Amino acid sequence: MGFFIGGIQIMFGRKTLFTALLLAWVMPAWAQTLKATLPNGLQVIVREDHRAPVVMSQIWYRVGSVDEKVGKSGLSHALEHMMFKGTPNVPSGEFSRRVSAMGGVLNAYTSPTETVFHENAAKEHLPKLLEMEADRMVNLNFSNRDFNNEMKVIREERRQTVDDNPINNMYEQMLFRAYDKPSNRTAVIGHMRDLHGLKAADLRDWYKKWYAPNNATMVIVGDVNAQETLDLVKQKFAHIPAKKLPERQNLQEKEVKKAVSAHAYGNTQQPIMLLGYRVPHLRTINDTTPYALDMLATILGSHSASRFETNLVRGKQLALEMDSSYTIISRQPQMFHISAMPREGVSTAQLKAEIEAQIADIAQNGVSEAELQQARVIQESSLIFSRDSMANQAAWLGTLESNGFDFSQEDELYQRVLKVSAAEIQAAAKLLTPQREVYIVMYPHAMKQKRVAVRQK
C-alpha cells in the first residue's frame, strides 16, 4: 500500500506523469481497447494485450486527500487500508490471502485525488477478482478492533515515510506553504494529530459517501477478449446502485503570489533543498503550456545528460544530486519541482542561485534544436524499454479517465508533447519566477544543535 505527497507516489518513487503516458502509448495493432459506462455510472475500460496469459485489474475511486476537511486528514488513505479488512463474504485478511493463492499480487495506493486498488493474476482468475472487488464496493464491514490496530500501522507509516524522511517531509511543508486552501495543503497520509483523532465511524461515513460505481473507473488490461470482459464486468457490478455524491471542493488557487521560503531540521547528513513553482496543469487537451513544462522538466533535470546534471553536478560540481519533476494531469493544482543536495562546502543559497541562472538562461536564450531533439529521444527511449508493462498501461488509462480526459486521447497527448517547440519551452521557463516560488531547505539535526550551543554561549 502507498500514498502520494505533492504529486509524488511514495510507494513507487518519483517521475513525471508523462513518463506513465510513455509506458502505455505504443501498442500492437491487434490490441483492441473498449470503453463502456454501466447504467449505475461505473466506467469500464478494457484493453487487450495477448503477450502473456495474465491480466491486470485496477479500480480507481475518485476520492483522495483534496476531498477531506480540516481535522480529518488521512481519511482516504486510512480507508484504503481498511478495504482489506473484510466483508461478510470475504473475512478480514482473506482478500489478500485469496489473491496470493491464485499466484497473483495486489496492492493499493492513495493520491491527493484518487484511491486505487489493483491485482495482477493469471487471466482465468479475473471473474473471481471482479467478484471480490464488487463485494467490497458495497459490503465493507471492518471491526473497531481492526480499525484501532490499523491506525497504529498508519501512524508508524507516517513516522517512517514522512517524519523521518527528509525529502517527503519537505514536500509536505512545501504544499502547506504553497497554497491557501486547506484541501490543497492536506497530507495524503494525514497529519499525526488527525491520525490520533480519527474514529472508525469517520471511515465508515467516508466509505458510504464516496465508494460508489458512479465514482469509480474499472480498468482491465491483459490477455482477454475486450467485449466478453465488458460483459463480465456488467455481470459483477451492474446490480450495485449509484449514489448521490458530495459536492466537490473548489481547488483553484492563484499561481502568482509572493515568494515563500522556510527552513527545517531533519534526518539528513547534508543540507537538501526543494524549489517549487506554482504552474498550470493540463485542463483541456488543447492547452499548450503544460506540455512545454513537461519537456522543460526533462531538459533541466530528469536524465543524466540534463542541464543540471551536465552543468551543476558534473560540470561545476556544486551538487551531489539534482532532479526536476512536473505532473501534467491532476485535479489538484500542480508545482514544478526542483530538488537538490549541495556538495560539502557549497551553500544552499549558492546552489539556488545557480539553478535560477540555468532557468534564466533558457528563459532568455531558449534551448537549441539539438537539445530539444535529445529530450525527445530520451522520452521515446523510455517508451521502447517500458511499454511491456500492463500495470502502467492501466495506470495511464485510469489517470486519463479520472481527470476528465478520454483514453482515446493518449496518442494525441503523446504527440503534443513531442511537438513542443523551443519557443514554447522558452515561454514555459519564463513562468518560473519568484512570484510563483516556494523554497524549502532542510538542515541536519546536528546543525540545529550547534546553533543552539552557540546562542547559549
Active site residues: 80
Helix axes 369-386, 289-301, angle to 10 degrees: 90
Cα 334 to chain centroid distance, Å, stands at 11
Contacts of 452 (CB under 8 A, 6+ apart): none
Report d(CA 303, CA 322) in Å as an integer.
Answer: 10
β-pair partners for 120: 56, 105
Question: Distance of CA 457 to CAs 265, 293, 454, Å?
Answer: 21, 49, 5
Cell of 256: 502568482
Distance, in Å, from the CA atom of 421 to the CA atom of 399, rounded to the nearest integer, reads: 26
SS3 117: strand
Residue 204: partners with Cβ closer than 8 Å, 6 or more residues away: none
Helix residue spans in 246-347 (DSSP H): 289-301, 307
Beta pairing class for 260-266 and 437-444: parallel
Rounded distance, CA 82 to CA 141, Å? 9
Q: How far from the centroid of its chain's Cα atoms is residue 419's Cα?
A: 25
